[in-house]
């Protein structure tokens, strides 16, 4: 599915948070995709000058309701079974909640409280493994250090595990009150427990204490804010200046991540 999709169209628009950035980097590395735009998921889409039609790129970590627009995301997008069947019928929306028939009111397999609790990046890793392509991750426990944005005299640090698992609160969801749902979804992503990247993520989670779930979330949020992000989820409200030039802090963030 992914191979065929990106052979036809390598232009992608990604969400302007850590989940979107990681997805963009993953798809660039393994499928040669080119990020031609960003969206803050609220009120703005920034597109490269080469994109003449907003509907033509593949939208990643963003749900676009228009039937002909291809998107890969993780949000719960169907209200009920009828809505689910309509969206599924488009053939352009790739989403774990659609796959497992999770609707808002729960008139199919389950409801909002049992929705997919991780990032689009983790879903992409599983989709790639289905096609025989394994994502290679470095040591998730390694501490990475960098300079604070706007203050080169201060050094900040984070582990890769915390960065990747901050995508849509995957670590917090797994360690907190949503544990049962989280483990159900980890098993769905990797039913045979043979996807190296998913196994590595779960192994890293096993080293983290449930009692510290909120501490981990705050610490990685602080790391992102000190990198110049506008939100603790590693997000930017604005990606370019008024002239359409990508902001230096966004470029620095890309390089660090």
* Tens of pLDDT, residues 165-194: 999 999 999 999 889 999 999 999 999 999
Taking alpha carbons only, the member of 128, 101, 227, 122 closest to residue 171 is 122
- Tell me the pLDDT band of 53, cut-offs 50, 70 and 90: very high
DSSP state of 57: S
Which alpha helices (H) appear in the chain, and where do they start and end?
A: 2-8, 18-31, 81-90, 96-99, 120-130, 160-165, 170-175, 179-189, 196-206, 213-226, 248-256
d(CA 189, CA 195): 9
DSSP 187-250: HHHSTTS--HHHHHHHHHHHTS-GGGHHHHHHHHHHHHHHTT-SBTTTB-S--B-TTSPBPHHH
DSSP reduced 3-state for 157: strand
How many alpha carbons lie under 13 Å from residue 111 in its C-beta half-sphere? 4
> What's the pLDDT tens digit per position in 2-47?
999 999 999 999 999 999 999 999 999 999 999 999 999 888 999 9
> What's the pLDDT tens digit per position in 208-217?
999 999 999 9
d(CA 212, CA 162): 12
């Amino acid at each position: 599915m992914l191979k065929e999709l990106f052979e036809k169209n390598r232009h992608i628009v990604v969400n302007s948070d850590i989940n979107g950035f990681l997805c963009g980097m993953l798809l660039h590395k393994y499928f040669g995709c080119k990020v031609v735009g960003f969206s803050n998921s609220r009120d703005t889409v920034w597109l490269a000058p080469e994109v003449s039609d907003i509907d033509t790129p593949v939208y990643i970590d963003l749900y676009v309701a228009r039937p002909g627009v291809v998107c890969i995301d993780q949000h719960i997008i169907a209200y009920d079974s009828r809505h689910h069947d309509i969206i599924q019928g488009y053939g352009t929306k790739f989403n774990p909640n659609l796959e497992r028939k999770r609707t808002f009111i729960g008139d199919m397999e389950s409801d909002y409280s049992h929705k997919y609790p991780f990032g689009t990046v983790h879903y992409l890793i599983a989709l790639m493994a289905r096609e025989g392509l394994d994502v290679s991750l470095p040591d998730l426990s390694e501490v990475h250090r960098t300079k604070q944005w706007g203050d080169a005299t201060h050094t900040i640090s984070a582990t890769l595990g915390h960065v990747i698992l901050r995508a849509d609160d995957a670590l917090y969801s797994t360690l907190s009150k949503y544990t049962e749902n989280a483990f159900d979804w980890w098993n769905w992503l990797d039913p045979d427990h043979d996807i190296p990247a998913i196994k590595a993520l779960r192994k890293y989670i096993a080293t983290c204490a449930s009692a510290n779930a909120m501490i981990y979330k705050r610490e990685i949020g602080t790391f992102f804010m000190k990198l110049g992000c506008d939100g603790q989820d590693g997000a930017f409200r604005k990606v370019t200046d008024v002239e359409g030039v990508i902001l230096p802090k966004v470029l620095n963030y890309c390089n660090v991540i």
